[in-house]
Amino acid sequence: MYFDPMYFVFALPPMIFGLWAQWKVKSAFGKYANVANSTGYTGSQIARRLLDSQGLYSVAIEATPGDLTDHYDPRGKVVRLSESTMYRNSVAAIGVVAHEVGHAIQDAESYVPMRTRAAILPVANIGSILGPYIFMLGLFINMFGLALLGLLLFGAAALFQAVTLPVEYNASNRAMRLLVDNGLVTSYDAGMARQVLDAAALTYVAALLQSVSQVLYYAMLLSGNRRRDD
């Protein structure tokens, strides 16, 4: 193995985009975390109202440690909210919690991309961890089939990121419709909440770009290695 400048040609642009996306979401959340929403409801109160409006009375709401660690757990049927959203009545909080409620509704409706993502997850987890090692081992011992297996395994991780995009964008769109339909936002609130959700979506775009760039780099290495053997 040797240092390859071409790696940075593939990896650097998505890495920079990823750092910018992280800054964007933290900046948007930080900006609107100090702006009270028009209803005065906390994140947990908003979440409960939205869930109940969709008949999801059995979906629980729990606190989870950290900041921006909010997520929906489909196995436990639980919306878990960080302290920065659960107990605060900010515009940022209502956007985030509505997004997680959007995932709960996707789960209840058996939203196909969400089911597809869940089906891919086990292979994607294995691929993201073992794929690069298997690929590099295959290159090192000059075994094309093993390297190709590593590439395909890591490709599953990229596929997972690709399927994640429509899941996340759909959850955000549902979130905004839910907030409006239930009278929980004014047009002023909605615009700010939308900015938070749009910024958060960029992180998923960044994850996809990083995975795809890695797959393309591996494919270039494998193709070059095959030509040398021929």
Q: Does the annotation mark 100 as catalytic?
A: yes
pLDDT band at 1 (very low <50, low <70, confident <90, very high): very low
Q: Can you state the angle between helices 187-229 and 91-108, rounded to 10 degrees? A: 60
Mean pLDDT of 130-139: 92
Distance, CA of 107 to chain centre: 16
**Alpha-helical runs (H) found in the chain:** 6-32, 43-53, 83-86, 91-108, 112-140, 144-181, 187-229
Structure confidence at residue 3 (pLDDT): 64
* Number of Cα atoms under 13 Å in the Cβ half of residue 216: 13
Mean confidence (pLDDT) of the chain = 91
pLDDT band at 226 (very low <50, low <70, confident <90, very high): low
129, pLDDT greater than 80: yes
CA distances from 44 to 2, 13, 16, 57, 76 (A): 52, 38, 34, 14, 17
Structure confidence at residue 224 (pLDDT): 76
Structure tokens at 27: 């900046």
Q: For residue range 61-114, list pLDDT tens digits in order.
A: 999 998 889 999 999 999 999 988 999 999 999 999 999 999 999 999 999 999
Structure confidence at residue 124 (pLDDT): 92
42, pLDDT greater than 60: yes
Q: Kindly name the residue from 62, 100, 109, 168 that is annotated as catalytic.
A: 100
Q: For residue range 46-56, list pLDDT tens digits in order.
A: 999 999 999 99
